[in-house]
Amino acid sequence: MVIAADILLAERCLKAGATVLRHDGKPFDIGSALATRAIMEDLRAGMTGSETVPRRSARPTARGSCRRSTG
C-alpha cells in the first residue's frame, strides 16, 4: 500500500500492483488525475507570460444602457 500525492509515482505504483491512496485516504483515481495533469500542462505550455486576459470594457453596452420606462 502506498500513500502518494505525486501522480506519476502513483501511476508507477499502480502498474506494479500496489494499492495507492491519496493523502486524504481516498483511492487514487489515476485516469482522472492524469487527464487533469495533461490539460494543465497544455494550458501552461500555451502561456508565454506576455499575454494577458482581455478586460471587459468599462463603457456600458447597448443592452446595459437601456432602461425600462416607468410611465
Phi first, then psi: give them for residue 20, nearest 5 degrees: -120, 130
Nearest CA to 29 among 59, 4, 65? Answer: 4
Taking the whole predicted model, whether its pTM rises above 0.75 is answered as no
Domain boundaries, the chain: 2-46
CA distances to 10, 18, 63, 67 from 5, rounded to whole Å, are 8, 15, 48, 53
- Quick one: pLDDT at residue 71? 52
Cα 34 from Cα 7, distance rounded (Å): 7
pLDDT above 50 for 8: yes
CA-CA distance, 2 to 10, in Å (whole number)? 8
Residue pLDDT, tens place only, 21-42: 998 999 888 888 889 989 998 8
